[in-house]
Amino acid sequence: MTFYKLGDDIADTCAPDVPIEQRWDKRRFDAKLVNPANRRRHSVIIVGTGLAGGAAGATLAEQGYNVIQFCYQDSPRRAHSIAAQGGINAAKNYRNDGDSVYRLFYDTVKGGDFRARESNVYRLAQTSTQIIDQCVAQGVPFAREYSGLLDTRSFGGVQVARTFYARGQTGQQLLIGAYQALSRQIDAGNVEMHERTEMLDLIVVDGRARGIVARDLVTGQISTYLADAVVLATGGYGNVFYLSTNAKNSNTSAIWRAHRRGAYFGNPCYTQIHPTCIPRSGDYQSKLTLMSESLRNDGRIWVPKNAGDTRSPDQIPEAERDYYLERIYPGFGNLVPRDIASRAAKNQCDLGRGVGPGGLGVFLDFADAIRRLGEDKVREKYGNLFEMYDRITGEDPYKVPMRIYPAVHYTMGGLWVDYDLQSTIPGCFVVGEANFSDHGANRLGASALMQGLADGYFVLPPMLGNYIASNKFDKVTEAHPDVVETVNEATGRLTKLLSVNGERTADSFHRELGEIMWDECGMARSEDGLRKALGRLPELREEFWRSVKVPGNGNQVNQSLERANRVSDFLELGELMCVDALHREESCGGHFRVESQTPDGEARRDDDRFAYAAAWEFNGTGEQPTLHRENLTFDYVHLAQRNYA
Amino acid sequence: MKLTLRIWRQAGPAEPGRMVAYEVPDANPDMSFLELLDVLNERLTLEGDDPVTFDHDCREGICGACGVVINGQAHGPRERTTTCQLHMREFSDGDVIDVEPWRSVAFGVVKDLMVDRSGLDRIIRAGGYISVNTGSAPEAHATPVPKPIADTAFDNATCIGCGACVAACPNGAAMLFASAKVTHLNSLPQGAPERTERVLNIVEAMDAEGFGGCTNTGECTVACPKGIPMDSIATLNREYLRASLGRK
């Protein structure tokens, strides 16, 4: 039984056909400009205030556009970009260690396992250096050396030190920089900021995105906001797994509703499982916490050689430990890319060598680093992470090795966009983690912050200007039938959620969905498992609408209603992810199909059949989606099996 | 663990509130405080009661969304720890725990444990930034920043804007919050051109929002989950004095 229909191929038509180094310059030169005096006549809606949204809002407002911006949190400073720990990549080559724009481009295409679009990745690498300049000028306090110059460190999958950082809180510092730039524009009256307001649907009029329907989470008021273009900067959908390192309220609703309105969804099955997270401790667990990849610079990962060894780690002599990453991948050691490190941890646990409750953990040991550098130096580098670990587990990582296990962390998939970051709905742009654009099948560490800020500060603004300059915008009012219909649908959905009054909470459905997704569409995926999931998920969705219980009403703060609404979208997304994972009969990056592996258990791509990005078209709830393939060409980084040994 | 939670329930900003006791017989020492509230809320929902409203998001102690007063202490008994990072192993079987929202003139209750902290955003909007339009930045290494200064800026920039300092202050002052931002930006060479206007505007906004005055009681630094020090308040006062005298 197939689960999808095959449609026409799709292609990016916006990247100019010139050598890759010149593409972005050429595109910007070809782009139409909006006269500065005319910009104030145009309004742009931005949903989300993370790195991509915050940067975009500040920049577009500085340029003179009227920006109307939204976040569901009580302040734009709380977006989940804030939790990124390790750092941000940039091809500054301050270390003189052989880095360059081309090497960052190469590493990112290879790290993404040859499933990203070369044009976009090259532009990302080009833009990276400007991001560091911008952030330093904003007062972002990056780590510095005693010379007063910026310090850098290494991250997984690369052999140069190009990662700029601010202790273990780089995301926080970059986000505060963007938030402050946005705050300045709010104060200047250039951004109309709506906090505690959540997008319910996208308004499409005459085939173009012209606004959103949103709910004030305090009063329950549902309103329409109209503009000339809509930018979605709403982050990833890792919470489809219920347990992930995402913030509790991170959700897919904005991009899923846009998908339902016609935006194709790119590579939904590409999810990143981060190797170093704190293992779960019980059924009440509400989320998982990441321990930064930067720890792998100094920490050594190991398991006992003998399966079922329950001795405490200090009782296990060196000869009976297996530093398996160093053994299998001597070239990169503990710093192999995330997908490889995660799978290796799972393999060790499957062999019965896992540690901690349920055998679902491996050790990340700092004893050598503490001997080599001294405890003070280790504290200076990783102090806040060690403290966080101690708070959560009650164990002191200066004395006993950390226990870590992989957890869902990031989604490379997202709405399909062209080189201009425009979705298949004209006027609907998608930036940051919400789009699918730059990381292929696996994202390298410290590249999410780079992409979010590149999109928001430097890529979106000229392309949005081009869209506005190239189109005429007839006035749309709230009385337009398409607007009225969208509002009615959004309102009707909430009314329905409130009226079911069944016997299960939204969270209990979410947990069950998460278990199915983790078991069948997590670190290892098989045809049997995915077919099983695709049998169960539609039933679960129907059960949800039959028996969910949402207390209270819609005219006040109602966090249960917010959650139920988000879960209803996750249920639909989960199905699409499984369809995508089932159709892609190869392993690549974070997508590991057990049927497609090398004799020693590494991922085996099938470039003849699958060197394309999958863009899915929505055909109705429970209907088979249509697959449109964007064929990927690799003119610069030649297709090769990844080798980190 | 068997615990009794006495929680502040308030239906809306204009409604009267009261403490309501709930038994939680199945608490686990490895749960976070918010997970305890999750467990309670699941039960209240199924029993047809209104679940307890509280702000939260990252649950990693960095977004600043969560925060309640636990047994009279903002963010509870463990130092340098947000509510989401507080675990039940800090408590004992049989404990009775009081849970209240931030209480301050400038923070109105929205519902139950959720308060309105938008005044903190307006303080930042008044001057908590460096005016540099996108694209206009010089090369990052054009201005070296001595490491001790960069470290001071960083330590102050770690403020998460949770509002615990305001909740802990007997005067409801936002001095620690404001001083962290002034110290972060005014220490750096990049922040120097706007140094004077920044501190004056921030102090003015703080007063306009109804935050109280600072009398150096230091409760704020004890409650601060990020350990912003009292020194920062001294820095703000020094910057403010310098700016006020300079402007005459």
**What CATH number does residue A546 fall under?**
1.20.58.100
Please list the residue range(s) of chain B that carry CATH number 3.10.20.30.
3-111
Q: What is the pLDDT of residues A103-152, one digit of tens each?
A: 999 999 999 999 999 999 999 999 999 999 999 999 999 999 999 999 99
> A116 in a domain, yes or no?
no
Chain A residues in contact with B34 by the CB 8 A cut-off are 286
> A637 in a domain, yes or no?
no
Nearest CA-CA distance, residue B138 and chain A, Å: 6
Q: Please answer yes or no on whether B49 and A551 come within 8 Å at the CB atom.
A: yes
Q: Please answer yes or no on whether B28 and A282 come within 8 Å at the CB atom.
A: yes
**DSSP line for B95-118:** -EEEEE---BTTB-EEETTEE--H
A46, A53 Cβ separation under 8 angstroms: yes
Q: What is the pLDDT of residues B187-235, one digit of tens each?
A: 999 999 999 999 999 999 999 999 999 999 999 999 999 999 999 999 9
> A540 in a domain, yes or no?
yes
Q: Please answer yes or no on whether B134 and A167 come within 8 Å at the CB atom.
A: no
Chain B residues in contact with A140 by the CB 8 A cut-off are 157
Q: What is the pLDDT of residues A299-313, one digit of tens each?
A: 999 999 999 999 999
Nearest CA-CA distance, residue B96 and chain A, Å: 21
Residue that the structure tokens 């200090």 belong to: A314
Residue that the structure tokens 């098989």 belong to: A526
**Cα–Cα distance, A131 to A137 (Å, whole number):** 10
Q: Please answer yes or no on whether A150 and B158 come within 8 Å at the CB atom.
A: no
Interhelix angle for B33-46 vs A506-521, to 10°? 120
> Which whole-number Å values give the CA distances from B75 to B105, B157, B185, B225, in the listed order?
19, 20, 27, 8
And the tokens for A619?
């055909």
pLDDT confidence tier of residue A282, bands split at 50, 70 and 90: confident
Q: Please answer yes or no on whether A195 and B85 come within 8 Å at the CB atom.
A: no
Q: Are residues A381 and A508 in the same domain?
A: no
**Which A residues 541-570 touch B at CB under 8 Å?**
549, 551-552, 556-557, 559-560
Chain B residues in contact with A403 by the CB 8 A cut-off are none
Q: Please answer yes or no on whether A248 and B59 come within 8 Å at the CB atom.
A: yes
Q: Which of A355, A407, A436 is nearest to A514 (CA)?
A: A407
CATH classification (class only), B3-111: alpha beta
Residues 6+ apart with CB under 8 A from A610: A584, A585, A586, A588
Give the total number of structural domains in chain A: 2
Chain A residues in contact with B157 by the CB 8 A cut-off are 139-141, 166, 172-173, 176
Q: Please answer yes or no on whether A133 and B137 come within 8 Å at the CB atom.
A: yes
Residue that the structure tokens 């929202």 belong to: B101
Residue that the structure tokens 């003998």 belong to: A306
Other C-beta atoms closer than 10 Å to the C-beta of A580 total: 25
Q: Which of A644, A165, A136, A98 is nearest to A445 (CA)?
A: A165
Query: From the candidates B42, B49, B60, B204, which should be mutated to test the interface with A, based on the most A CB atoms within 10 A?
Result: B60
pLDDT confidence tier of residue A383, bands split at 50, 70 and 90: confident
Q: What is the pLDDT of residues A26-54, one digit of tens each?
A: 999 999 999 999 999 999 999 999 999 99
Percentage of chain A with pLDDT > 90? Answer: 91
On the question of pLDDT at A467 being above 70, the answer is yes
pTM, whole model, 2 decimals? 0.97
Which candidate in A167, A215, A257, A338 is catalytic? A338
**Cα–Cα distance, A288 to A566 (Å, whole number):** 19
Chain B residues in contact with A77 by the CB 8 A cut-off are 64, 121, 124, 161
On the question of pLDDT at A412 being above 70, the answer is yes
Average pLDDT over residues B38-67: 97
A200, A452 Cβ separation under 8 angstroms: no
Q: What is the predicted ipTM?
A: 0.98
Percentage of chain B with pLDDT > 90? Answer: 99
pLDDT of residue A424: 98
Q: Which of B242, B246, B245 is nearest to B234 (CA)?
A: B242
Nearest CA-CA distance, residue A605 and chain B, Å: 35
A338 is catalytic: yes
Q: Which of A272, A231, A25, A13 is nearest to A117 (CA)?
A: A13
Nearest residue in chain A measured CA to CA from B134 = A59
Chain A residues in contact with B9 by the CB 8 A cut-off are none
pLDDT of residue A644: 77
> A179 in a domain, yes or no?
no
Instruction: Kindly state the helix (H) or strand (E) to which residue A231 belongs, with its residue range.
Output: strand A229-232
Q: Which of A593, A451, A616 is nearest to A523 (CA)?
A: A593
Average pLDDT over residues A552-563: 97
**Which B residues 139-168 touch A at CB under 8 Å?**
139-141, 143-147, 150-151, 153-154, 157-158, 160-161
And the tokens for A567?
């879960």
Q: Which domain holds residue A507?
A: 488-612
**Cα–Cα distance, A65 to A612 (Å, whole number):** 36
On the question of pLDDT at B248 being above 60, the answer is no
Residue B109 sits at the vertex; the CA angle it makes with B4 and B180, to the nearest 5 degrees, is 100
Q: Are residues A405 and A497 in the same domain?
A: no
Q: Which of A363, A388, A409 is the C-terminal boundary of a domain?
A: A409
Chain A residues in contact with B121 by the CB 8 A cut-off are 75-77, 183, 195
Q: Please answer yes or no on whether A195 and B34 come within 8 Å at the CB atom.
A: no
Nearest CA-CA distance, residue B120 and chain A, Å: 9
Q: Which residues of A271-292 are buried (b: 16+ CB within 10 A; e: fewer)?
A: bbbbbbbbbbbeebbbbbbbbb
pLDDT of residue B247: 60
Instruction: Write the residue in A73, A183, A282 that is nearest to B129 by C-beta.
Output: A183
Q: Are residues A393 and A505 in the same domain?
A: no
pLDDT of residue A156: 78
Q: Are residues A400 and A492 in the same domain?
A: no
Eight-class DSSP state of B212 = B
Query: From the candidates A60, A62, A65, A75, which should be mutated to test the interface with B, based on the most B CB atoms within 10 A?
Result: A75
SS3 breakdown of chain A: % helix, strand, coil, rounded to 5? Answer: 40, 15, 40
Please list the residue range(s) of chain B that carry CATH number 1.10.1060.10.
118-247
And the tokens for A330?
């001597």
* Overall residue count recorded for chain B in this entry: 248
Average pLDDT over residues A458-476: 97
Round the average pLDDT of chain A to a whole number and report it. Answer: 96
Instruction: Write the residue in B46, B65, B120 that is nearest to A549 by C-beta.
Output: B46
Q: What is the pLDDT of residues B85-133, one digit of tens each?
A: 999 999 999 999 999 999 999 999 999 999 999 999 999 999 999 999 9
On the question of pLDDT at A168 being above 80, the answer is yes
> A292 in a domain, yes or no?
yes
**Which B residues 7-26 touch A at CB under 8 Å?**
11-12
pLDDT confidence tier of residue A358, bands split at 50, 70 and 90: confident
> A181 in a domain, yes or no?
no
Q: What is the CATH number of the domain that holds A340?
A: 3.90.700.10
**Cα–Cα distance, A279 to A525 (Å, whole number):** 21
Nearest CA-CA distance, residue A99 and chain B, Å: 17
Partnered with residue A229 across adjacent β-strands are A44
Q: What is the pLDDT of residues A237-274, one digit of tens each?
A: 999 999 999 999 999 999 999 999 999 999 999 999 99
And the tokens for A533?
């999931």
Average pLDDT over residues A559-574: 98
Chain A residues in contact with B125 by the CB 8 A cut-off are 183-184, 186-187
Single-letter residue type at A253: S
Q: Are residues A385 and A504 in the same domain?
A: no
> A134 in a domain, yes or no?
no
> A574 in a domain, yes or no?
yes
Q: Are residues A399 and A524 in the same domain?
A: no
Query: From the candidates B10, B34, B39, B58, which should be mutated to test the interface with A, based on the most A CB atoms within 10 A?
Result: B58
Q: Are strands A191-194 and A163-164 parallel, antiparallel or unpaired?
A: unpaired
Nearest residue in chain A measured CA to CA from B187 = A139
pLDDT confidence tier of residue B246, bands split at 50, 70 and 90: confident
On the question of pLDDT at A611 being above 60, the answer is yes
Q: Please answer yes or no on whether A284 and B135 come within 8 Å at the CB atom.
A: no
Q: What is the pLDDT of residues A517-556, one digit of tens each?
A: 999 999 999 999 999 999 999 999 999 999 999 999 999 9
Q: Please answer yes or no on whether B138 and A146 come within 8 Å at the CB atom.
A: no
A286, A357 Cβ separation under 8 angstroms: no
On the question of pLDDT at A363 being above 90, the answer is yes
pLDDT confidence tier of residue A202, bands split at 50, 70 and 90: very high
Chain B residues in contact with A76 by the CB 8 A cut-off are 121
Chain A residues in contact with B51 by the CB 8 A cut-off are 551, 559-560
Cα A247 from chain centre: 12
**DSSP line for A434-485:** GB--SSTTSPPTT-HHHHHHIIIIIIHHHHHHHHHHH-------TTSHHHHH
Fold entry, domain B118-247: Fumarate Reductase Iron-sulfur Protein; Chain B, domain 2 (1.10.1060)
Kindly state whether A23 is in contact with chain B, defined as any CB-CB distance less than 8 angstroms: no
